[in-house]
Amino acid sequence: MTLHPQARAALQVWAAAGLPDRGDVEARRRAEREVASREAGEPVDRVEDVDADGVGCRLYVPSGARRAIVFAHGGGFVFGDLETHDAQARRIALRTGSAVLAVDYRRPPEHPFPAAADDVQRAGGWLVSTWDGPVVAMGDSAGGNLALVAALRDPGRYAALVAIYPFLDPTTSGDTYDRPHGGMSRADAAAFWEQYAGDPADPDLAPLRSDRLGTLPPTLVQAAGEDVLLAEDVLLAERIARAGGDVTLRVFPGLVHGFWRQPQLFDDAERSLAEIRTFLEAVGPA
């Protein structure tokens, strides 16, 4: 597969950004929040910080929303927060016409596995109990893992699941990890898993190992064609299908990990959201 020209340009932009090394956790977190602060968030009818059964969250409610989404952000479990993903949460709400509950889950190394998974599960339960309408689980990268685990832990809770290039395999054994320009390296992935900790055989950590994939609601897996995670994302879709689940796999050719949050660099970021809306509308009305 050929790297998309927009991906080549984006990799150059990211390389020139001069962010601190991922090993310097606090400096990297501060730098990513600073970068995110430069992106003006689109106005949403109602935005408020809420306590979701003890988990800090931010709720975005566009006018007329009936469906709600519990959203777990990406960042290798270690990075990302409500501020780094604020603009993306607003886009999700506006493009899908859904309320979005962004979860400020606890992160390693301060809070290793299963703190993040527990927080997303708890916040999702709160949303289901307080929202009058269908609720969807969604996440990107590490957040895709957390959304998937939440749906597996509580079968029947969610009307649908959306996982955007989910981060799934702590063994980093997929052959696509050898790609030189995937937006993330094998070393990056291994470092994230080391910080998150936990038993790699535990399906709450590595949901590819779950024996309950057939219990998932209708699921959309979006993957990037040049992402180092492509092999495990394709494998997830295959295993859900083999378990009897309803799954749709969409691969965006030539794109790299991280494209989904960068509409200023990738046209397919908006196409992804449009496809998510179409998928959710097919599952059921908002």
How far apart (Å, rounded) are the C-alpha atoms in residues 114 and 50?
A: 22
What total of structural domains would you count in the chain? Answer: 1
CATH number of domain containing 9? 3.40.50.1820
How far apart (Å, rounded) are the C-alpha atoms in residues 125 and 228?
A: 32
pTM of the model: 0.94
Range(s) of the domain holding residue 52: 5-283
Partners of 51 in beta bridges: 56
Do 138 and 71 form a contact (C-beta atoms < 8 A)? yes
Mean pLDDT per segment of 10 residues, for the chain of length 286 residues?
A: 64 56 84 84 96 98 97 95 95 98 97 97 98 97 98 98 97 88 82 91 96 98 95 98 98 92 90 97 80
Do 223 and 249 form a contact (C-beta atoms < 8 A)? yes
pLDDT given at position 187: 87
End-to-end alpha carbon distance in the chain: 36
Positive or negative: CA dihedral 265, 139, 78, 212: negative
pLDDT given at position 15: 56
Report helix, strand or coil for 162. Answer: strand
Compute CA distances 69 → 135, 155, 195, 237, 239, whole Å. 5, 16, 27, 21, 24
